[in-house]
Amino acid sequence: MIRVDSAARTFGEVSVLEDIDLRVDPGEFVALVGPNGAGKTTLLRVINGLLDPDEGEVTLDGDPLSELSSRAVSRRLATVPQDTHVGFSFRAEEIIEMGRTPHRSRLDWSDDGDPVEAALERTETTHLRDRRVDDLSGGERQRVLLARALAQEPDALLLDEPTASLDINHQVRVLNLVADLVEEGRAALAAIHDLDLAARFCDRLVLLHDGTIAAQGPPETVLRDSQLADAFETETAVTRNPVTGTPTVAALSDRPDRDSHVHVAGGGEPGVEAVRSLWKAGFDVTAGPVPAGDAVVSLCDQLYIEVTTAPAFRQPGEALDDALTNARAAEAVVVTDGPGGQLVAEATDSTVQVRAEGHGSVAARVDGGRVDDTAVPALVTAVTEQLDGGIRSNSPGKNAPHK
């Protein structure tokens, strides 16, 4: 349906889009994601013909955009704008009726009601038809603009941040509606800021970074791609939303950068706490051995942390060797009360220990002595102090001793 072939666009000296190849097929809902200024809106404008590409070509159903009149384009492709502010006191129905513009001659003032009625019904805006658009809420106005696009009876929809100004309820309703429309055979391309929403509703994500497509594919793949962190210039953690079952992304822009390797031995809740707090504090973390299926394993998977697992209820054998290699290379080893921890403790001269106490609270111990009962900061402090003390500092990290 929509096809972009090696399109490029510059504004003056600045290259905004470079070598873009993109296809959106009927029945496909594609999200355009990427940081601010990546060129998402520019790409949408190139596709709807508002901007001409400097190089390359856009085709709709095989017809080059440059050979179609804007009227012909708007019969096939409807754009739902980002700015939902409509400065005039038109009634909602009048706005929706404007969607019929490309289908009617200039002097035909009749209401060809059916597509408008259908659009009103489809977007559940029938009750708003006589309200003035500037009196509507953001969510209502967005639905009216979607209805306007539907009144165009297009084969493809372009949406620029359709959920930007909406509350969580309306975000889901609007995207659900778009997903339904796509299921009926339309194609949709939406610039969406919210990666979770994009992953939840779209069939495919296209990651735009610095005017080029950095990655594209199914949401799980794109969100786990290291390109994502590069594009957004922040560490991200991808987990699966337990309710929707779709990937959700957390940006971890506040994670400091420490050049020290810490090994966490032992699984279970103390292991999870230790891995999480140390990773968040910026340490390079490795973990293991832990039994397969331990909570530490899934956490490490999400954070791209190397973890060695041993089959549950068996001697860790090989896994222990791998873990010990990591532990010996690390500048500090944290041993938890969890399964597997003690084995490492015996094999190394670990001095930092973490124990689970009571209801999930975790205490950190250094040299067998208890540090603090607010374990998370305490653990990080303990590890940092140990590294500063030079006890196991055999690599010249940033937190290496001041000799």
373 Cβ neighbours under 8 A, 6+ residues apart = 357, 361, 363
Q: Please give the structure tokens belonging to residue 223.
A: 């969100």
Nearest alpha-carbon partner for 39 in 144, 121, 160, 155: 160
Least Å distance between CB 141 and another protein?
12
CA separation for the pair 153, 191 (Å, rounded): 21
In terms of CB distance, is 77 or 231 closer to another protein?
77
Q: How many residues bind another protein (CB under 8 A)?
A: 35
Q: Please give the structure tokens belonging to residue 294.
A: 């331990």
Q: Please give the structure tokens belonging to residue 127.
A: 């009750």
Among 6, 21, 37, 50, binds another protein (CB under 8 A): 50
Cα dihedral 337, 342, 348, 349, rounded to 10, equals: 50
In terms of CB distance, is 151 or 344 closer to another protein?
151
In terms of CB distance, is 148 or 261 closer to another protein?
148
Q: Please give the structure tokens belonging to residue 358.
A: 């009571």
In terms of CB distance, is 75 or 328 closer to another protein?
75
CA separation for the pair 351, 391 (Å, rounded): 9
163 Cβ neighbours under 8 A, 6+ residues apart = 142, 170, 171, 174, 175, 192, 193, 194, 197
Among 1, 2, 31, 78, binds another protein (CB under 8 A): 78
CA separation for the pair 252, 267 (Å, rounded): 23
In terms of CB distance, is 107 or 243 closer to another protein?
107
Among 42, 74, 163, 308, binds another protein (CB under 8 A): 74
Q: Report if residue 69 touches another protein, rule: CB under 8 A.
A: yes
In terms of CB distance, is 73 or 189 closer to another protein?
73
Least Å distance between CB 72 and another protein?
8
138-151 and 113-122 are packed helices; what angle lies between their axes, rounded to 10 degrees?
140
Interface segment toward another protein; rule CB under 8 A; list 10-18, 25-33, 52-60, 67-75: 67-75
Q: x/- binding map, residues 8-47, to another protein, per CB under 8 A?
A: -------------------------------------x--
Interface segment toward another protein; rule CB under 8 A; list 68-76, 121-129, 309-317, 371-379: 68-76
CA separation for the pair 327, 349 (Å, rounded): 10
In terms of CB distance, is 76 or 392 closer to another protein?
76
Q: Please give the structure tokens belonging to residue 236.
A: 């991200």
CA separation for the pair 300, 45 (Å, rounded): 41
Q: Report if residue 144 touches another protein, rule: CB under 8 A.
A: no
CA separation for the pair 85, 148 (Å, rounded): 14
Q: Report if residue 111 touches another protein, rule: CB under 8 A.
A: yes
CA separation for the pair 139, 164 (Å, rounded): 10
Phi first, then psi: give them for residue 259, nearest 5 degrees.
-95, 40
Q: Please give the structure tokens belonging to residue 171.
A: 């975000």
Q: x/- binding map, residues 79-108, to another protein, per CB under 8 A?
A: x-x-x--xxxxxx--xx--xx-xx---xx-
Among 75, 131, 240, 255, binds another protein (CB under 8 A): 75
Side-chain half-sphere CA neighbours of 207 within 13 A: 22
Least Å distance between CB 267 and another protein?
55
Among 123, 125, 152, 236, binds another protein (CB under 8 A): 152
In terms of CB distance, is 159 or 333 closer to another protein?
159
Among 110, 130, 349, 402, binds another protein (CB under 8 A): 110
Least Å distance between CB 150 and another protein?
13
Q: Report if residue 112 touches another protein, rule: CB under 8 A.
A: no
Q: Please give the structure tokens belonging to residue 116.
A: 């408008």
In terms of CB distance, is 14 or 107 closer to another protein?
107
Q: How far apart are the first and last CA of the chain?
A: 66
In terms of CB distance, is 46 or 281 closer to another protein?
46
Residues near another protein, by CB under 8 A: 45, 48-50, 69-75, 78-79, 81, 83, 86-91, 94-95, 98-99, 101-102, 106-107, 109-111, 134, 148, 152
